[in-house]
Amino acid sequence: MKKNAIIITGANGNVGSYFSKKYYELGDNLILIIHKNDHRIKKLVKDHSDRIKLLQVDLTDYSMLSAKLEKIISETDWKPDRLIHTATARSHTIKSLADSDPEIWKGTINANLFGTFNILKTTLKYFKENKNGKIVLFGSNVSRIGLPKGTAYAASKAGIANIGRTLAAEEATNNIIVNTVSPGPIKTDDSQFSESYRKFRQEYYKEKLRDIPLKRCASFQDIFGLCEFLLSKDNSYITGEEFFITGGKI
């Protein structure tokens, strides 16, 4: 029986839930981290509790995250060797920087940057012990093109990519590989978003699709294929990179 395990944050999100199902099908043990909701993965977790453990926590709470993850690892005797960090807070307020509420802006930065710091600090402990680990962080194409009415989100995604670059250099001698995947528009289920945010997304995607040579959004499979390679044994050299998945848009 496999002892290695993959950790996926944002596991109930569009991308996270797809990745959870795909890695289960590939035979992996999974530690799935969610914040509040579990509707997309509830049945998967219930039906396969021998290979899937659910961890519900706010990623900005380092102490709770560390304690809960340690408990799962102790109970299962699994050895985490991969991390996919998809969890993100979006800029739902849709306001320019000049009109943004400082506390809401700060909240997005805290969730995305401190959340990233906390999950990395927590999992690195296990990767460093085993002298082995592969990490994929999720950025966004907005880190290079900006996002009008979404400055906090754009700033945090640029920050995540630079955390990845720096961490790759810091942990190379520990055989820890770190890369960032930064997609453009992705075809997702947006039913959970507010009406105003759905309208914003629709207008944004319609505008951006005109500039994409392939004339479509990225699919989950488009993104999974790259991540699967970056986390695989076939990748022993590519680290510290940011990969833009934008259908040919430069």
Could you report the per-residue pLDDT of 23-76, keeping only the tens digit for each? 999 999 999 999 999 999 999 999 999 999 999 999 999 999 999 999 999 999
Q: Using pLDDT thresholds of 50, 70 and 90, give the confidence band for residue 77.
A: very high
Cβ-count burial of 174 within 10 angstroms (0-12 exposed, 13-18 middle, 19+ buried)?
Answer: middle
- 247 vs 83 pLDDT, higher one: 83
Asked if residue 189 has pLDDT above 90, the reply is no
The mean-pLDDT minimum among 15-19, 133-137, 208-212 falls in 208-212
Looking at residue 206, what is its pLDDT?
72
Whole-number Å distance between alpha carbons of 111 and 37: 16
CATH class entry, domain 4-244: alpha beta
CB contact burial 214-244 (16+ within 10 A = b; e otherwise): eeebbebebbbeebbebbeeeeeeebbebbb
Whole-number Å distance between alpha carbons of 151 and 146: 7
The pTM (predicted TM-score) of the whole model is 0.91
Q: How far is CA 212 from CA 43, 48, 187, 200, 249, in A?
A: 36, 39, 14, 19, 5
- 1 vs 94 pLDDT, higher one: 94
Whole-number Å distance between alpha carbons of 78 and 108: 32
Whole-number Å distance between alpha carbons of 165 and 222: 23
Across all residues in the chain, what is the average pLDDT?
A: 92
Cβ-count burial of 191 within 10 angstroms (0-12 exposed, 13-18 middle, 19+ buried)?
Answer: exposed
Tokens for 69? 């993850």
- Tell me the per-residue pLDDT of 133-185, one tens digit each, with 9 for 90 and over: 999 999 999 999 999 989 999 999 999 999 999 999 999 999 999 999 999 88
The arrangement of strands across the sheet holding 4-9 comes to 52-56, 29-34, 4-9, 79-85, 133-138, 176-183, 242-245
Looking at residue 88, what is its pLDDT?
94
For the segment 178-202, the average pLDDT, to the nearest whole number, is 77
231 neighbors 82 (Cβ within 8 angstroms): yes
Looking at residue 191, what is its pLDDT?
66
